[in-house]
Chains A and B, each alone.
Chain A
Amino acid sequence: MIAGAIIATYALLAPLTSLDAVQSAGVPLLADKLWFRIATYIAMFMVMATAWNIIGGITGYAAFGNVAFFGIGAYTTGMLVAKAKWPFLAALPLAPVVASAFAALIGLPLLRLRGHYFAVASLGVGVAVGELVQNIDYAGQPLFGGASGLFLPILSIDNRGLFFFYLMLAAAAIAIAVTWWVLRSRFGYGLIAIRENEEAASVIGVNTTAYKVGAFALAAALTGLAGGIFSQWNVFINQDNAFPIEYNVQMILMALIGGTGTVFGPAAGAVLLQLLIQFLGGSLPISFDIPFVSTDARPIVAQVILGVLLVVVVIFMPRGVIDFFGGRSRLSLSYLRRSLRETSL
């Protein structure tokens, strides 16, 4: 919530950066392209974690390959801008469309699987799509830029950093609004019924296939939107940065830390975890030494910390940090003991 407040304040104050006066005054957060870049990453993960929550948290299907939709969105916009010379804002709306169409297509066979089988199959899709995009040739030429990737022209507008930050933040707001709507709709109740007991849901008349595919496609559309913005923001996309395997884990971890199944939980988790990742990666301007850890070992320690965090959160805080906000629960020893009982087999 504190981090959310920082982001909100920042979003409100950010327009002032266009004023030369503020820039020359050197107000730290406002005159700084680095902060824009990090804040845009945070907003990007807010979108991805919130979108994952729809299929993973609300519907209960552990999708491990959502990065495929991010990459498809990035490549859809990238191809239209770089090859077909479309203006960026015209190309962007097609990113969620193509991503969700793809999700609906693979969702039909994939969502027949459950539990571990679905998780493994979705992970496979995430990897396979990236490989396909890199290796498909047409008439001897790589169709999607191949291993060289795609270069988009740098958008010639003032305050580029600000523009992309707002765009990504708008995408995050859309993702949160969609989640809010889902949780209050007949569609959402159907998804929750599927999560709790799929057979029972089917018996009471929920068209489980249509609902599951719908949730998957919705998550894909939002993730694809983030990918579409990313491609123009980053200017260069290739298999490595449009289909990074680690994003799969990070978006899930963010949703878990924040609180799965909730409206704001995944976004809060994204803020917390992305700040932590950037801090451990040494890119935050406020950096201090971690005791007993040399700077060389920091990236390795960062991975260890993230792994330990995942375990601790899953065992002790199954409802995420969002559970402590708004006076629902208080972090206490009895809370942790109760959680441990719940999560133990």
Chain B
Amino acid sequence: MTVRKLALLAVAVVAAFACGTASSGPTTGSTITLGAPLGLTGSLTKESILTQQGYNLWQDWINARGGILVGGVKHPVVIKYYDDTSSANQSAVLMQKLITEDKAQFLLGPYGSAATATDAAIAEQNQIPMVEANGAAQSIFNQGYKYTFGVLSPANKYLQGVIDMAATLNPKPTTVFMLSADDNFSLEVANAIVTYAPTKGMTVFPVKKYKNGATNLSAEVQAAKAANADIVLNSGHLQEAIAINKAAKEQKLNAKIFAYSVGPSTPDFIAALGKDADYVYDGSQWTPQVKYTPAFYLTVAQYVAAYKAKYPGLGDPDYHVAESTAACLALQRAIENAGSLDAKKVRDALAALDVTVFFGQIKFDTRGINIYKPMVVEQIQSGVHHTVFPSNIADAQPMYPTPNWDQR
């Protein structure tokens, strides 16, 4: 019985293989090696694994199609990873190893602005293009580097969408209180609001800085309450966003809008706060609700389905996954457009790239960062994430103004 089953299976496999090879038109060329050091252990493990998931989703997809098409020849792709233990210095050593030992022809970015900054210098010195999706600090792109491209919106855009949205609301909020952690990414987000909000007719109180990773933020929330601003913004991370929201409830800090740069988009935020998470906004690179018409690869719905099929039990893909896949797509399309595997030609093709995928428009300014894709504003409504801005890709209206704590 088992022997017969096995035999049948073998026949089926052989048949499938035969069909596969028979139907493929272009010939198969050399394998393209891509390299990426990631913090698979250490403090950035969680985000690095999301990044790797995004890369792997594309790798599976492109190899199922035989590889990247260059001049009528399909080149399969292998992505080589190393664990940089979340250390930027180690990331640079491993980047060099990927280039010299593993002969990586193109590079994908590590996780985080610090490692991306160090690795960008390595890519530049070796003249190998690096497409990255997880280093949003603009300082990386202000160095005149020619070989680093970031598909994500830069840090200064993170909360601008919230201000843009607020400007359309009625009654229009006019005062902004800005809290910020003191790391490079968070401060860039905060400083951008200080210069941007006045252009929309809003006044901003001086930024209230706190130590990155702080767990007790009651003094900062007290300062926000004293200012009595319409909008309370935080530029920080998940833990700090949770701490601020808890303190806001305890101290009855009432604002028309609470918006946090990073944190509310993750399931952990709702799990930690329950009903108190409602009405909170965040700026997100991408949400599973966005409506973009892709020129190639999957639609948004297909992408979400593909993620759930490969990584069951993890819920919807987070924006870190989506932007990482988008980096691969940018590289793929640039190689196809260049019609060559030459590093210089692919770099030029990346610089000229303008394509829309499930993640949004990918186009780089002269510095190499994608300033053309808008950030999305999400709001938690009855425990569910909804995209509320820009309105042409939104799936719900913003619930505005946020009710006072004692009226919830």
Please report A residues at the B interface, Cβ cutoff 8 Å: 32-34, 37-38, 41, 134-135, 146-149, 151, 153-154, 160, 234-236, 238, 240-241, 244, 278, 281-283, 285, 295-296, 298-300
Contacts and interface: CB of A to CB of B under 8 A. Distances in A.
B94 interface: yes
A151 B182 contact: no
B118 A234 contact: yes
A299 B42 contact: yes
A296 B41 contact: yes
Given A149-B184, A160-B125, A236-B118, 15 more contacts: A34-B99, A34-B100, A34-B101, A147-B182, A148-B188, A151-B117, A151-B142, A151-B143, A154-B121, A238-B117, A282-B82, A283-B93, A296-B41, A299-B41, A299-B42
B147 to A, nearest CB: 11
A123 to B, nearest CB: 19
A173 to B, nearest CB: 23
Contact of B94 (A33, A134, A282, A298): A282
A76 to B, nearest CB: 19
Interface stretch (B11-19, B68-76, B84-92, B240-248): B84-92
**Secondary structure type dominating chain A contacts:** helix
Contact of A240 (B40, B88, B120, B143): B88
A244 B88 CA distance: 11
Interface in B104-134: 114, 117-118, 120-121, 124-126
B114 A238 contact: yes
A32 B101 CA distance: 8
B50 interface: no
B100 A146 contact: no
A261 to B, nearest CB: 29
Q: How large is the interface on B (under 10, 10 to 19, 20 to 34, 35 or more residues)?
A: 35 or more
B156 to A, nearest CB: 12
B97 interface: yes
B139 A34 contact: no
Contact of A236 (B42, B94, B117, B212): B117
Given A235-B121, A241-B88, A283 B97 contact: yes
A295 B118 CA distance: 24
A299 B83 contact: yes
Nearest to B41: A299
A241 B89 contact: yes
Contact of A149 (B82, B83, B139, B142): B139
A283 B122 CA distance: 15
Contacts of B90: 281, 283
A134 B185 CA distance: 13
A281 B93 CA distance: 10
A181 B215 CA distance: 51
Given A154-B124, A241-B89, A34 B97 contact: yes
B234 to A, nearest CB: 16
B100 A32 contact: yes
B183 interface: yes
B92 to A, nearest CB: 7
A147 B187 contact: yes
Of the listed residues A32, A148, A235, the one surrounded by the most CB atoms of chain B closer than 10 A to its CB is A148
A148 B184 contact: yes
B184 A147 contact: yes
B124 A296 contact: no
Contact of B114 (A41, A153, A241, A299): A241
